[in-house]
A and B are shown apart, each in its own frame.
Chain A
Amino acid sequence: MTKNKILIVDDEPNVCQFLAEYLDYKGFETVICYSGIDALKYLQTEPFDAVLLDLIMPEMNGIEVLEQMRQMNIFVPVIIVTGVRDKKVAEDAMSLGAVDFIPKPIDLDRLEQSLIVNIKNLQ
């Protein structure tokens, strides 16, 4: 059985590693990248089942990544994982196509549920 492939986008290496190890344990395949620009490169060249996207990143923030994904017609479920708890930011992200908004520190059970539900919805 093929594993669902998740792109983890966060400029914090520790957050990426933690999520990658957890998702690996839960049976997902993961790819890590540390910037929005790299994330867009990956998304143009490889298929992913979902993206975990941080909002505050240098060079290109999460909202800009979402905007670019829209312009490039890349439709992959994006789950925002962020320390920003601003309702307005959450609404902006959702209006740009994000499917869920999970605050940091991350509730791992909630993250797993969100991935399962959103990947299933897409299929």
Chain B
Amino acid sequence: MIRVKDFLRFFLFVSMIMVTAVRADINLWVMSFDNLHSDSEIKWLKEGFVDFIVDHYADNDYVRAYRSEKLDETLSVIKRNPAYQNARNYVVSGAYHRDKGEFIVDLQLTDLKTWETLAKKQVHEKSSDLEQLIMTVNKALDEIVDPRVKESIKTNAGEEKTPEQEVFDVGKDKNLEDIREMTVATKDIGSALDKLLADFQEKPEQYREPEPFSQNQFSQDAFTDRVRDFVRETHSFEQTMNFILNDPYEINIGEPTIQRLPMNSQSVLLSFRIDYRIKMEIVREMIETLKIKGKKEGETYIEYSFSGNDYLFTSDFIKRVAYGQYRYFPVVSLKDENGNAVSRIIDAPGTIDQIKHFNPMFNIAAGPWTMTIYLVKGVQEIDYELTLPIRTVAKISQVSIDMMTEDEIVQLVEK
């Protein structure tokens, strides 16, 4: 017999997938790129290109790009999910190498339904500027994807988006708009909460223990809306740090649960788990392209030190480190379907409604002659709990996480 808990979990899983999947006309499943000559200096681009492409299509109305870690799992997700099946699913594969200082990147678009190679493109980039390379690759991909989008629009002409599709295009949280765009993880939880609440209200006499969390079950790589506006060069210390710190965390949002409060029939305890981890492979590979003076590695950490003899640490950079401008803390916003925050958890020290859970997993200690970078390995699992009126929970459609510096948090709180 299927237990209620299992059913609920299955329902949540299906509803989450439905909400997140019915989005685009074209889904691009982006695989890690092939580093053709096993060039260790640019090995990190294997995953880097995937991130850049996923970011590039984050705001596209017709195309959605997802990381495909394992193609067999991707195919299985598509097969299980009608929402994906109804869209066109293309795999993006790529390979890159350097030849006489020139970057050569091959892109290939393959239809996952027919395994037909739809398009191929090779791009050459002479500039050593990483931002230029990213733009060139994204532009090339646009050139091979755009004709498919036009085809798709033609085919779907006359069809209107369903309300479910519209939910995805939530507006930005107005309070954060003029600070900077920084949302690093988002998840739609409206359907799940609706179901939980409906179930809850149908059987008021039952007291339900909180469901155990299942890690990462519904998580999607939602590192979207990041502004990558740094001028980057792979061998400049400060610029490499800026680039890493622009997006160092991988964040997964677990499923929400609600629990009745014995003394308060109008409110519930809303709980959910968020996992934080450093994008260790990319971060480590990028750091290791720099000239390292020392490296210590333990079970839970990696520590790198850099010498002022090798790099000029500018006083501006040292000040920014000292002022904590590289220490990010999560601000978890529960939003309604219009993207407005109905409740917010600021998980940082020194704020008014502070709760202290999160410890930064990327730390820099700076001095004029040495610089130390400390990376925390593993996952930081944090269970967040909020007591909210049932009517407020009913409005929640999405949870999103912004990683903010303490200064930015103060600005947010002052608003």
Contacts and interface: CB of A to CB of B under 8 A. Distances in A.
Interface string B21-53: 000000000011011111000000000000000
Interface string B212-234: 00000000000000000000000
B117 A14 contact: no
A92 interface: no
Contacts of B72: 17, 20-21
A14 B31 contact: yes
Given A22-B115, A25-B115, A105 B34 contact: yes
A56 B97 CA distance: 13
Contacts of A21: 71-72, 75, 115
A83 B94 contact: no
Interface residues on A, range: 10 to 19
A17 to B, nearest CB: 4
A109 interface: yes
Interface string B68-79: 001110010000
Interface in B60-119: 70-72, 75, 91, 93-95, 97, 106, 108, 110, 115, 117
Contacts of B70: 17
Contacts of A108: 110, 115, 117
Given A26-B115, A83-B34, A107-B117, A18 B93 contact: yes
B180 to A, nearest CB: 34
Interface centre among A12, A84, A108, A109 (most CB of B within 10 A): A12
A109 B106 CA distance: 17
Nearest to B94: A105
Interface string A75-91: 00000000110000000
B148 interface: no
Given A17-B70, A17-B71, A109-B117, A104 B31 contact: no
A104 B36 CA distance: 8
B95 A18 contact: no
Q: Determine which residue in A20, A56, A104, A107 has the highest number of CB atoms from chain B within 10 A of its CB, and name it.
A: A104
A119 interface: no
Interface string A1-37: 0000000000010110110111001100000000000
Query: Which of A22, A105, A108 counts the most B-chain CB atoms under 10 A from its CB?
Result: A105
Interface of A: 12, 14-15, 17-18, 20-22, 25-26, 56, 58, 83-84, 104-105, 107-109
